A and B are shown apart, each in its own frame.
Chain A
Amino acid sequence: MQVNDNKDFQPTIVAFCCNWCSYAGADLSGTNRLQYPANVKIIRIPCSCRLNPIFILRAFQRGADGVILCGCHPGDCHYTTGNYYARRRMSLLFSMLDYLGIEKERTRVEWVSAAEGAKFAATMNEFVDAVTKLGRNHRLEDLRCKKQ
């Protein structure tokens, strides 16, 4: 298990947020002036089940240190069932990444509704902390994309 000893390390986090719940949740946390780290780059997707595993891997390839998927709570999907499929896919994908020896703490799924601005900020704070502890992503990085 690698431990980060670089005190100045600032992780890059990619958050894929569902348009209907979590993206609005992120918005709400902003209007409520709740703080979460600027390391989090939000990418809006129409539904959590739009998240192709390729997106996650490409985020890591291009320099992400952690990837989080936020979607509507199970049962609340704007398209009725999208997040149920996403839930199965992510469970299997994360398990595979773990099987390949890639730190499982770098990937996460969290259900955040449009009303949960506080939960969004808290989730991001906690996730950024967890990834900061892990340090830079070395196991799924593409050396060609590294800053020279």
Chain B
Amino acid sequence: MQEAMKARAKELLADGSVNRVAGWKIGEFSYDITPAIFETAEEIDRDFVYDDFCGANLSKYLISQSRKEGKILVFLKPCDSYSFAQLLKEHRIIRENVYIIGIECYGKADINKIREKGIDGVLGIKESGSSFVIDSIYGEATVPKMDVYAERCLVCKSKKHAVYDELIGEEGDVVPSSRFDKVAELEAMTPDERFEFWRGELSRCIRCNACRNVCPACSCENCVFDNPNSGIANKAAADSFEENMFHIIRAFHVAGRCTDCGECSRVCPQNIPLHLLNRKFIKDINEFYGEYQAGENPDEKAPLTNFTFDDCEPSIVYKRGGNQ
């Protein structure tokens, strides 16, 4: 897979169809891969990598990259392509300047899950069938891939690309996913339990803005939380209210546009399950207004810029199950 991608990227660079390549660059250890822009075949030969740790979604980089001179080649995994398609729908990317190669993906590993298993001092990770062989300062360990795949990959919703110009590997299908199970579990709790749960999670927030800055749906030029004229700008949560405020407003602002790519939870240095907020909105939208997947259909109106005359009333919230 990686070799085919490298060869194709070099080919496209050589014949001048693209000027730059957005991909993943090898790090110090096997797991610390950085998104990067490659301009020459030598750079690609030396640094380009595609493996189980290339979790980073490249689509948001295209907002700025597609505005630069020349054409850029980007490799998109199925879930990344949904983010790309959604950005396209919002006119944030200049499509003519981007050449997309869709690549297959069977899940990406999460280094934190490896560390949680007590495997530390990781120096290198090799693939061996359906397992990883991990070389560390403190010895060698083998773990099944499935055990250390990211949560978002274990509940993958689609192996099919929303948009691409050409494919390397096989195109998959939309797959059944159990991604709303945890949301349903929270919904079944009492409000007090839910409140405790979210206080426990959100109180860890250090307001580093990683979730916002990595999010392909968060593409505002100036966020309300950075804008001193908005009245709610803040750099750190000085009160627990501000922790709640930031996450409610952020989740609300991406409601109906969030493709559930899971980047927010991947990047959180405090391990907060932020995807559970976005998934709640997706679940509600599906239940109230019919199934909707952001990024899937370029012509369909987004649920929050659309309505029907017989939409449910907000009082549905009081009537619905919800324990008291």
**A87-B307 CB under 8 A given contacts A141-B241, A143-B239, A144-B239:** yes
Q: How many residues of A contact B (CB 8 A)?
A: 39
- Name the segment of B5-13, B65-73, B188-196, B204-212 touching the other chain: B188-196
Q: How many residues in B have their beta carbons less than 8 Å from beta carbons of A?
A: 53
Of B129-137, B145-153, B242-250, B262-270, the one contacting chain A is B242-250
What is the 8 Å Cβ interface bit string for chain B, positions 283-317, against chain A (1 contact, 0 not)? 01100110000000000000111111101111111
Nearest CB in chain A to that of B224: its residue = A54
A118 at interface, CB cutoff 8 A: no
Query: Which of A88, A109, A143 lies at the interface centre, i.e. has the most chain B CB atoms within 10 A of its CB?
Result: A88
List the A residue with the shortest CB-CB distance to B187: A99
The digit string for A29-57, where 1 denotes a CB below 8 A from any CB of B, is 00000000000000000000000011001
Which chain B residue has the least Cβ–Cβ distance from A104? B317
**Please, which residues of chain B bring their CB within 8 A of the CB of A97?**
248
Please measure, in the bound complex, the distance between the C-alpha atom of A104 and the C-alpha atom of B285, giving whole angstroms. Answer: 18
A87-B307, A141-B241 known; A96 vs B314 contact (CB < 8 Å):
no
Q: How far is the CB of B40 from chain A (nearest CB, A)?
A: 47
A105–B194 CB distance below 8 A? no
Q: Which of B186, B196, B281, B317 sits near A94, CB closer than 8 Å?
A: B317
Q: Which of A84, A88, A101 contacts B198 (CB 8 A)?
A: A101
The complex places the Cα of A1 from the Cα of B244 at a distance, in Å, of 20
B260 CB, min distance to chain A CBs, angstroms: 16
B231 interface hit (Cβ, 8 Å): yes
Q: Report Cα–Cα, A100/B322, bound state, in Å.
A: 12
Q: Which residue of A lies closest to B323 (CB)?
A: A1
Measured between alpha carbons, how far is A94 from B192 in the docked complex, in Å? 16
CB under 8 Å from chain B, chain A span 86-104: 87-104
- Tell me whether chain A's interface is mostly helix, strand or loop, or mixed: helix
Specify the chain B residue showing the minimal Cβ separation from A144: B239
- How would you classify the secondary structure of chain B's contact residues: helix, strand, loop or mixed? helix
* Chain A residues with CB under 8 A of B239: 142-144
Q: Are A101 and B307 in contact (CB under 8 A)?
A: no
B98 at the interface (CB under 8 A from A): no
By the criterion CB–CB under 8 Å, are B322 and A98 in contact?
yes
- With A91-B316, A109-B313, A142-B242 as known contacts, state yes or no: A101 contacts B193, CB within 8 Å: yes
Determine whether B58 belongs to the interface, using a CB cutoff of 8 Å to chain A.
Answer: no
Q: Answer yes or no: B277 CB below 8 A from chain A CBs.
A: yes
A99 & B309 in contact (Cβ 8 Å cutoff): no
Contact indicator per residue, chain B 157-191, by CB within 8 Å of chain A (1) or not (0): 00000000000000000000000000000110011
B92: chain A residues within 8 A (beta carbon): none
A9 within 8 A of B: no
Q: Is the CB of B317 within 8 A of A98?
A: yes
By a CB distance below 8 angstroms, the chain B residues around A141 are 241
Choose among B195, B288, B316 the residue that contacts A139 (Cβ–Cβ < 8 A). Answer: B195
Q: Nearest-CB distance from A43 to chain B (Å)?
A: 14
Give 26 CB contacts A-B under 8 Å: A53-B248, A53-B252, A57-B245, A61-B241, A81-B307, A88-B289, A88-B311, A91-B284, A91-B317, A92-B255, A92-B285, A96-B251, A96-B252, A97-B248, A100-B194, A100-B198, A101-B193, A104-B191, A108-B314, A109-B313, A109-B314, A140-B241, A141-B241, A142-B241, A142-B242, A143-B239
Interface residues of A (CB under 8 A from B): 1, 53-54, 57-58, 60-61, 74-75, 81, 84-85, 87-105, 108-109, 139-144
The 7 closest A-B pairs by CB, nearest first: A101-B195, A84-B307, A101-B194, A142-B241, A109-B314, A90-B314, A94-B317
